Amino acid sequence: MAVFVIGDLHLSLGGNKPMDIFEGWEGYLPRLETNWRNLVHPEDTVILAGDTSWAMKLEDTSADFAYLQGLPGQKWLLKGNHDYWWTTARKMERYLAENGFDTLHILHNNCCVVGNLALCGTRGWPFDDSAAQDAKIMAREAGRLRMSLACAGEREKIAFLHYPPVFPGGCAQPLVDVLHEFGVTSCFYGHLHGKSIRGAIQREVNGIRYRLISADGLRFCPNKICD
């Protein structure tokens, strides 16, 4: 029962926002599917760290979710900044159940337990947004991360965020504080693309090892975390 992670798939199978127009994304779906099928088995778990579908409404995700349903493994979805279809956990879980998407699950104010591991996370928020409204959103995201980690109990915890919690010269301090509060030592994040990938923090910082897992940063190959 291996655990994998990848973010920012930006699927648009039911819409008109193909990512192939961007440099490095040409023909990315066949590459992604080949890599996924070569690595992931039905009993494995895959964390999808946000920006999964370009759909604007939940009912418009059907083609994208059907694509994911057809891939091996149990998939847990985080919210990203472009997941406009995202609604309440109850509505999303009902939609998944009603449409037979039984390998897709929502990671939101909860955790996914795999053996002795607890997979926890939330969307996060950019660390450099200082407006009062953004401060409230950051506090809310820190609360959601705390709730997710608290669900894990005494299990070993791995954290997943969509936005990077650390940048060169700065960090999303409320989120980083929560990671330290719960003894997290591994944190994976997405959101960064293109030239931004080169500046991503991918090393240990104050006892926490950070890793970028956006799809193009991984060359469209799910990253194996553990067996």
pLDDT band at residue 133 using 50, 70 and 90 as cut-offs: low
**Distance between CA atoms of 98 and 57, rounded to whole angstroms?**
16
**Distance between CA atoms of 44 and 37, rounded to whole angstroms?**
11
pLDDT band at residue 17 using 50, 70 and 90 as cut-offs: confident
pLDDT mean across residues, the chain: 94
pLDDT band at residue 127 using 50, 70 and 90 as cut-offs: confident
Which pLDDT does position 14 carry in this prediction? 85
**pLDDT higher than 70, residue 128:** no
Report all structural domains of the chain as residue ranges with CATH numbers, in order of start: 3-226 (3.60.21.10)
Per-residue pLDDT of 181-214, as tens digits, reads: 999 999 999 999 999 999 999 999 999 999 999 9
For 200, phi and psi rounded to 5 degrees?
-65, 140
Give 128-136 contacts, CB < 8 A, sequence gap 24+. Answer: 128/167, 128/170
Q: Are 155 and 118 in contact (CB under 8 A)?
A: yes
CA gyration radius for the chain? Answer: 16
